[in-house]
Structure 1
Amino acid sequence: MKPVTPVYAYVQVASPWLDEHLRVFIRHHAPDAIFVEEIDEIPSSCMSFPGPVVFQFCNGQLLTKNFALLNRTRGLINAYPNSDALARKDHLGAVVDYWTAKRPESILGDHIPQTVRLTLDYSEYVDEALMAADDLTLLSSLEKNDEMAPKEREWWILKPALVDCGAGIRIFSTVEELAGHLELAEYEDDENEESYGEESESQSEPAELEKNGHEISLSIPGLDSLDGLVLTTKPSALNNLSKIRAKKPEYVFREGGRIPSAQMRSFVAQRYIVSIPPIEGRKWHVRAYVLAIGRLQVHVFDEMLALLAGEDYQPPWEYPNLKSSLTNTALQDEEDVERRQSMRAFSDLPENLLPNRQWKKSVFDQICQISGELFRAAAHTMADKFVTLDRCFELFAVDFLVDTDGTAWLLEVNETPAFYTQGVSGPMALRLMESVICVAMEHIGLAHVGEARNAVIRKRMVEVLDETAGLGRSNITEILEEGC
């Protein structure tokens, strides 16, 4: 009788309330799975290839240590070694530029707002930074805007390349406005370099900003990325270890909303989409969940969220505060999110919001096409910053804005999305995770997708890309822990 390969599972995700649900979903496919609280609990006698099947669903703080386990076992872990090509806004802009330069017919060219990558230091040098950008479109636009009334201008939105949760985002239409958003040189930190990155009392709470009498709370990003993961193809590389995905630092925004350019220098400026169909007077965006697995299959979950801004929408020339312009729920109190239903099922949005009564199907179809093309582009143009391995999978939250013409515009890609229990978000997260586990178990040969229940669960994931045969064979042979 053929011996049964043991299955070990380690589950400790960024949203702890999901842990027990994930264990139930895993048991459905692997009833005899052994769940461990620590990776070290797996017997050392099993830790030799081919070894057991080890399925890991970890939070960002644990991925570094647990990644190296893939060298000695079969299984999956819930992150790629590096996905900066998607998650970093400046790299994402570069991926689109590289891809569409040779493929002008690509859907990415018409569904991503024009993006200009910027390196900004001091407010005094904004002109030089605009001239040094690889695209002079932004400089030309801002110069033309000087001669126009605010309502007639082309507006732009400034985003730090490395910061999440809506922090540091500003809207501008002239060079002077852009300069006004940057921290002046007098605020530069002159302390010893050894103290850089240490947490101070001022970093323990988000900065409270005020504009036109409105109080704004900018959340500081709290999600950890892979820390200290190193890839190597031969032993000689051990002498030159470096971090592939470093932990994102926390940034403190000065009083008045000035951006501390002493800490951040990589930005993108995107055309601000003004014409949007508000819901109950509020701006909103669509959050789609995209699963990438192996090298490289991409799926889009067939349910999506609509995330609404905290206050009624005002066009940028009326100088609204950020809570009316930004739809990120991190800028809202949890009580307000629930009270004002800032998270809603996309399928429940009004049918008559746009003239085309089939607009929701059209938006979903666009999102599927954009997502497949985007991940394909990242894998081919920035293989060093989107490292896809057969033993990895990763779930992304991809945000889109829908304009009054029904066009879906890609805004950003988020790693390790957070999930909430309130409203429609909690039940949707459970259905999503059940389908993620089904696809993951199928990838390692443990799912029974022919069963009626599994077929329904699996069908929620719409495959939009299978680039496995289109990518060159990976030459990565070993993954090392930090400090090795």
Structure 2
Amino acid sequence: MHVLITNDDGPLHDQFSPYIRPFIQYILSTYPEWQITVCVPHTQKSWIGKAHLAGKNLVAQFLYSNLNSNDNKFWGPFNQPQLKSRSTSRNDEFPYINNPEIPKNAIEWILLDGTPASCVNIGLHYLSKTEFDLVISGPNVGRNTSAAYITSSGTVGAAMESIICNDTKAVALSWAYFDGRKIVPLELMRMASKRSMDIVNFLLKNWDDETDLYSINVPLVDSLNGMTKVRYAPVWENRWCAIFDGPEVNLPRHDEDVEAGEEYNTISFKWNPNFKGHNDSKRCSKDDPIHDMGTIEERAISVTPLRATFKGLDHLIGELNIIEQNTNENDTVVAITIDPSEYIHNPLMNAIKKYLPNVKIVNELPSSNERKKIKRLFQYGDYEQLDVDRLLLSDGKFYFANSYIYRKALIRKHYLSHTIQTYTVKHPDSILKRAFPESYTIDLDYAEFLDDSLDENWELRQELERENRWWIVKPSMSDKGQGIRVFKTIDDLQAIFDSFDDEEEDEDQDDGNDAGLIDDNKIIISQLRHFIIQEYMSNPLLLPSMDNKKFHIRCYITCKGDLEVFVYDRMLALFAPTSYTSLEDNEYSVTNLNNLQCHLTNTCLQTKNENKDLSVMEFDKLSDISDVNKKQIKEQIHEITHDLFLAAINANRLNFQPLKNAFETYGVDFLVDSNYNVKLLEINAYPDFKQTGQELKGLIDELFDNIVSKCIYPFLSDDQEEKLQKQSLNESGNLVQVLEHTSNDW
């Protein structure tokens, strides 16, 4: 869909044009496949109708605004483009300057010193090397209802020009403010954007053959939501009264540019329209359908079908049931309730639209009444947003979601250790026996009770008293590397826990100590209590091309239903910020956080890493590891994953319960030693995908394409033949199935 956007309010301006920026941002975030060209007058050109400035040659300028910013900051205007066009939205004949100060994803505004109609005329014929599918004029600041407004509107005039000069479908969009409140909260503008685009999409699918363009008016009221009525409404054919005051005769004056003693008078008429002074037309009676002005006064949304002759069409009447009409043929709805600004929102949206083009996509769960009309509902949201009760009761028949409910057996470190130990007792030949570090768990409320905790775990005490190995201690329920320390002796461990207590006491004081890369690595023992102690890998695989920095592998593993398990073979390598130093070769202090820099590979801890862009690389791009060894590493990861999920099902079923109507993607971390042996570190639910960074965003795009194809699409499709065809699109993909298991129904 290629769309030209214009208006009559001009470019970014807090007072005159506050609506168009959030509207464009909403379109770009919600409809990433749309190509957008923005061409607007360089200043406000309201009340100008479908006018052109005869005899005037128009000049273009280029303005740029931040795609994600909520302010009206901009770069320019410039006399020529400052960025290469991201798509076919600008003609190749335009020269451009590669301006490094402007973000690559900035919104480009083409400004013309003409009228809105001129912007459309030039836009449709000269601003693109491909045809436009639609012109959106607006959103206008204020309403365009009734004959008095609509015949003068530059917004409607621009949409009309689209029909007259190129026969391109067009809508004129106006946002009606009330009580003089032009500036409204961003959240209200987002809702207005959503409702506007819901209607635009509906009209595109149901365009009336006799209609050239539509005028849409959306009320900016706090009650605006998905249930606000939308109504076809003819133009109220009212009549204006005087819109100027006057005449006013100005006092005589002397000007420097007239001869001395020559006096003259001026007669002026002050612009002062009486907006309440409309006259009812005899052509509108009480028996006629409610008109556009009445609709907007009721805080409803008016949709007025028009011909390019300003002749309204009254054969379309009644309410538009957007929700009902937009429901796809299978009555399937996808609710993506994560924030649209999240890193994974666009990859997820694009993949769903690719494999499920007919489903309705919403950004919040439908109400109870709306759900009665829905055959299947899929939700992708944060864990706290999911309808847990419905997920448990649906049993694969109505409600589907992107997370299991019970999975502590994997995602909590001490549960994971217990799961693996229980499984390997019965399966001593499992790869988990050698691929999981020797681990012990302890419970601790305060540092002073460490000795008592070790008495309860005498095996751990025996190991620590030998003083011949290094260990790593981690809070079981923390994330982002918080509270991780490396130590060797019981005294070291005591010093670590003492330091945690000291940090708790001094948390409101600034001691001035710079913790290097690790600014917020503190924990409160009494709030976490559960700790896991594991043998520390003393011989990690180091790569000369990466300055011998320690790294771990982040692998995305997806589980579907009850139970298929897939490993995504495009893995990440996450590097420590500094070169690795052997613990034995260094005067290592267990409480000095700077000493941890070369041992911890969590990118979220590297807030001061000047080379943070190099902290994450695609595993397959590491030149120091041969293809043979890469294959060996991946095969181990596949085998570990296979046994790991068998262990969760068989050894700790109470705390891992896969559901038929759910899937989940985990971020699983692995270490590799110098002999290319792989060790499992931990499993993270709702992994931080943005650690991948912008340079490797294609890796996440492909991941979600695979996930939708293999996990979401099968949930929502009835057509088995089409289902197989769609899934076959990804048979050569990188999401590799490593386990297919059917649990008992008890």
State the distance in 2 between where 1:453 and 1:261 align. Answer: 48
Pick aligned residue for 2:334 from 6, 9, 29: 9
Cα distance in 2 for residues equivalent to 1:61 and 1:437: 22
Residue 176 of structure 2 is matched in structure 1 by none
Answer whether contact 1:100 1:109 (CA < 8 A) is retained. Answer: yes
Mapped to 1, the partners of 2:627 and 2:391 lie a distance apart of 50
Q: Cα 1:184–1:23, aligned 2, differ >3 Å: closer, same or farther?
A: closer
Contact 2:575–2:603 (CA under 8 A) maintained in structure 1: yes
Q: Which residue of 2 aligns with 1:275?
A: 539
Match of 1:225 in 2: none
Task: Indicate the SS of the match to 2:440.
Answer: strand
Distance 2:439 2:628 in 1: 30
Partner of 1:226: none
- Does residue 349 in structure 1 map to residue 675 in structure 2? no
Match of 1:55 among 362, 378, 382: 378
Task: Find the counterpart in structure 2 of residue 389 from structure 1.
Answer: 659
State the partner residue of 2:40.
none
Counterparts of 1:79 and 1:458 in 2: how far apart (Å)?
A: 26
Aligned length, in residue pairs: 402
Establish whether residue 127 from structure 1 lines up as the match of residue 451 from structure 2: yes
Do the aligned partners of 1:300 and 1:368 also contact (CA within 8 Å) in 2?
Answer: yes
Once the two structures are TM-superposed, the CA of residue 440 in structure 1 deviates from its matched residue by 1.5
C-alpha displacement of 1:41: 4.7
Question: Which of the residues 465, 470, 480 maps onto 2:739?
Answer: 465
| Change in CA separation of 1:370 and 1:218 when aligned onto 2, cut-off 3 Å | farther
8 Å Cα contact 2:391/2:399 also seen in 1: no
Do residues 329 (structure 1) and 608 (structure 2) align?
no
CA distance in 1, matches of 2:351, 2:500: 53
Residues 375, 357 of structure 1: alpha-carbon distance in 2 compared, 3 angstrom cutoff: same
**Does the C-alpha gap of structure 1 residues 458 and 56 become closer, same or farther in structure 2, counting only changes over 3 Å?**
farther
Indicate yes or no: 2:486 matched with 1:177: no
Per the alignment, residue 31 of structure 1 pairs with 357
1:292 correspondence with 2:559: yes
2:729 matched to which residue of 1? Answer: 455
Mapped pair 1:261 → 2:525: yes
The alpha carbon displacement at 1:316 in A equals 2.4
Partner of 1:238: none
Q: Which structure has the bigger radius of gyration?
A: 2
Residues 323 and 362 from structure 1, CA distance in 2 versus in 1: closer, same or farther, beyond 3 angstroms? same
Q: How does 1:177-326 map to 2 (within 5 A)?
A: 177-183=492-498, 215-219=516-520, 253=522, 259-279=523-543, 280-317=547-584, 318=586, 319=588, 321-326=595-600
Aligned residue in 1 for 2:711: 440
Provide the residue aligned with 1:140 in structure 2.
Answer: 462
Q: Deviations over 1:55-86 (max 9, x none)?
A: 111023312x4662674662420000111110
Pairwise mapping of residues 57-76 of structure 1 onto structure 2 (< 5 A)? 57-63=380-386, 65=387, 68=390, 71=393, 74-76=398-400
Displacement, 1:184?
A: 7.3
1:92 and 2:416 matched: yes
C-alpha distance 313-184 of structure 1, shift in aligned 2 (>3 A): closer
Whether the 8 Å contact between 1:300 and 1:461 is mirrored in structure 2 is yes
After TM superposition, give the deviation of residue 454 of structure 1 in Å: 4.9
Change (3 A) 1:141 1:208: farther
**CA pair 358-69 structure 1, distance change in 2 beyond 3 A:** closer
Q: 2:403 aligns with which of 57, 79, 83?
A: 79
Structure 1 residue corresponding to 2:477, chosen from 142, 150, 162: 162
SS at match of 1:61: helix
SS in structure 2 of the partner of residue 215 of structure 1: coil
Counterpart residue number, 1:362: 632
Is contact 2:554–2:574 with CA below 8 Å preserved after alignment?
Answer: yes
Which structure exhibits the higher relative contact order, with contacts defined as CA atoms closer than 8 Å and separated by 6 or more residues?
Answer: 1
Aligned CA distance change for structure 1 residues 90 and 171 (closer, same or farther; 3 Å): same
In structure 2, do the counterparts of structure 1 residues 144 and 21 end up closer, same or farther at CA, with 3 Å as the change threshold?
Answer: closer
What is the DSSP-based 3-state SS (H/G/I as helix, E as strand, rest coil) of the residue aligned with 1:391? coil
Tell me, in whole angstroms, the C-alpha distance in 1 between the residues paired with 2:659 and 2:338.
21
Aligned equivalents of 2:421 and 2:637: distance in 1? 19
Question: Structure 1: which amino acid aligns with 2:712?
Answer: M
Output the CA distance in 1 between the equivalents of 2:688 and 2:643.
Answer: 25
SS, match of residue 570 in structure 2: coil
Q: CA RMSD in A?
A: 3.0
Q: Which runs of 5+ in 1 are unaligned?
A: 146-152, 191-200, 221-252, 254-258, 475-484
Q: Write the distance in 2 (CA, Å) between the matches of 1:208 and 1:432.
A: 44
CA distance in structure 1 between the partners assigned to 2:696 and 2:485 by the alignment: 28
SS class of match (1:291): strand
Change (3 A) 1:464 1:274: same
TM-score (norm 2): 0.50
The Cα shift of 1:424 comes to 4.0
Cα 1:390–1:218 change in 2 (3 A) is: farther
Instruction: Give the fraction of aligned pairs with identical amino acids, expressed as a percent.
Output: 28
* DSSP 3-state at the match of 2:640: helix
Kept in 2: contact 1:7–1:30 (CA 8 A): no
Alpha-carbon deviation of 1:374?
Answer: 0.4
Aligned partner of residue 267 in structure 1, secondary structure: strand
In the alignment, the residues of structure 1 paired with residue 351 and residue 645 of structure 2 have an alpha-carbon distance, to the nearest angstrom, of 27
Range moving further from structure 2, 309-318 or 405-414: 309-318
1:208–1:215 Cα contact (<8 Å) kept:
no
Equivalent residue, structure 2, for 1:429: 700
Contact kept? 2:407, 2:655, Cα under 8 Å: yes
Q: Secondary structure at the match of 1:96?
A: helix
CA contact (8 A) 1:289 1:395 kept: yes
**TM-score for the superposition, normalised by structure 1:** 0.76
Aligned equivalents of 1:6, 1:452: Cα separation in 2 = 20
Distance 1:103 1:215 in 2: 44
Which one-letter code corresponds to 1:164 in the other structure? D
SS of aligned partner of 1:262: helix
Greater Cα shift, 271-280 or 14-23: 14-23
Change (3 A) 1:454 1:41: farther
Do the aligned residues in 2 keep the contact of 1:367 with 1:408 (CA within 8 Å)? yes
- Displacement of 1:13 in angstroms is 3.4
For 1:43 and 1:26, locate their aligned partners in 2 and report how far apart those are by CA, in whole Å. Answer: 25
Q: Could you tell me how far 1:35 is from its partner in structure 2?
A: 1.2
1:376 matched to 2:643: no
Distance in 2 (CA, whole Å) between partners of 1:423 and 1:38 is: 27
Measure, in 2, the Cα distance between the counterparts of 1:300 and 1:377: 17
